[in-house]
Chain A
């Protein structure tokens, strides 16, 4: 049962992303700057740092699954989020050994992750021809607000879930020993 908690939380965050535009203040939404919620990805970063062991790749696997779900439910163009999430989270997974597992380290990883994900998504959409925004405008109006908003979300999420994740990791280690 406890193994289901992580996917359930991720699923909940994914459905919340669908009403994110309603939650944000109207002025921010109509404004030129675009805020894209990558809340699922932010949680994946926390999973990579606090839950994954040396030998397990839960964050990458969840990245593939929930990226694909986001593609199906929200955009209709399959593969874009799936690839971007999996690609960026595996880089985060590789980077996590170099960084202390505290709020600053997590924020730094979150920053790198958001930049990688969003640029990757935008790059694919540009290649496919779904967007024609210049890169300069993209950095100013989309990437910058998106990074700020998502890091804010990460700061809120961090104290709520970190202890629980560490607890679950301990159980995961115990399970492995028994096996």
Chain B
């Protein structure tokens, strides 16, 4: 009997050692997955691709039934909005032309706003709620690389965490910690923009904390839009992140933090766009060319 107890104890001990070794290995901030991991992700991703279609079909039916109830009210609002947009379109066209001309005269044709969009579909979401990440059906074969920003039509939702051949995982904004900062800005007139860093997601208030770098006298208002500034070098400029919900000062009263409500709904993500920032890539290519020369 005691032999069995000893053996069990021994197995448990080995298990704990393996556990600690594996956790230590995977928490080591590694950028690339090992080959077996990539293979498994691709294999599971393939099956999930197949399963995902009928599941979304069923959930869509229920969603559509819900939508039908609100159709009339929404229609009214949309008609009003449409009238506004018509005039906006004209304005935007003018501005675009203006912008292009000015850029041409400056001989600066690329900006940190430009990006190549890569369309992708979400095929699964981690059932472990501590880990806020989703899997999309595009991988390194389609040109996706780690750290690219991921957006929906509503706004930014996260960044690419790991990439395998056919799938990649996206870390959602709601799972960002202090290692994933986004350089962001609130647009004001005449170069008085407010700059800061989006630092981490605060579980308690359900919002992102936006730390304002320079102490500005300008007061923030509720509902102002926070967009990425492109200064961090990873994300392009002009991606909508969220709206200001509340402004609080930190514990010493020296800096202020704005609580930001993410613009995109994190629980209803289906189609996403992976943002491939043009400028950074071109820089790299230029560097490579220079090295060759």
Contact = CB atoms under 8 A, between A and B. Distances in A.
Given A18-B48, A19-B51, A128 B23 contact: yes
Contacts of A87: 12, 15
A11 B25 contact: no
A37 interface: yes
B15 A86 contact: yes
Nearest to A74: B126
B25 A78 contact: yes
A75 B25 contact: no
A54 interface: no
Nearest to B126: A74
Interface string B39-59: 011001001100110011001
B20 to A, nearest CB: 8
Given A22-B56, A76-B162, A15 B48 contact: yes
A79 B18 contact: yes
Q: Is the interface of B mostly helix, strand, loop or mixed?
A: helix
B127 A83 contact: no
Contact of B131 (A11, A23, A75): A75
Interface residues of A, number: 40
Interface residues of B, number: 40
Q: Is the interface of A mostly helix, strand, loop or mixed?
A: helix
Nearest to A17: B127
A101 to B, nearest CB: 23
B41 A72 contact: yes
B169 interface: yes
B128 interface: yes
Contacts of A72: 37, 40-41
Contact of B51 (A16, A21, A124, A131): A16
A129 B135 CA distance: 23
B171 to A, nearest CB: 9
B67 to A, nearest CB: 12
A36 B123 contact: no
Contacts of B124: 15, 18-19, 73-74
A17 B130 CA distance: 15
Residue of B20, B127, B169 with most chain A CB atoms under a 10 A cut-off: B127
Interface string A112-127: 0000000001001100
Contact of A69 (B19, B25, B40, B123): B40
A77 B41 CA distance: 14
Given A15-B124, A17-B127, A36-B128, A79 B26 contact: yes
B22 A75 contact: no
B40 A15 contact: no
A177 to B, nearest CB: 26
B161 interface: yes
Given A15-B47, A22-B55, A75 B19 contact: no
Nearest to B45: A73
Nearest to A83: B19
A92 to B, nearest CB: 14
Interface in B184-223: 203
B44 A21 contact: no
A128 B28 CA distance: 12
Interface in A27-60: 29-30, 34, 36-37
Contact of A83 (B16, B51, B123): B16
A151 interface: no
Contacts of A30: 267
Contacts of A107: none
A153 to B, nearest CB: 12
Interface of B: 12, 15-16, 18-23, 25-27, 37, 40-41, 44, 47-48, 51-52, 55-56, 59, 123-131, 133, 135, 161-162, 169, 203, 267-268
Closest 5 CB pairs of A and B: A18-B124, A79-B22, A78-B22, A74-B126, A83-B19
12 contacts: A15-B48, A17-B127, A23-B59, A34-B129, A37-B127, A72-B40, A75-B126, A76-B133, A76-B169, A82-B19, A86-B15, A130-B130
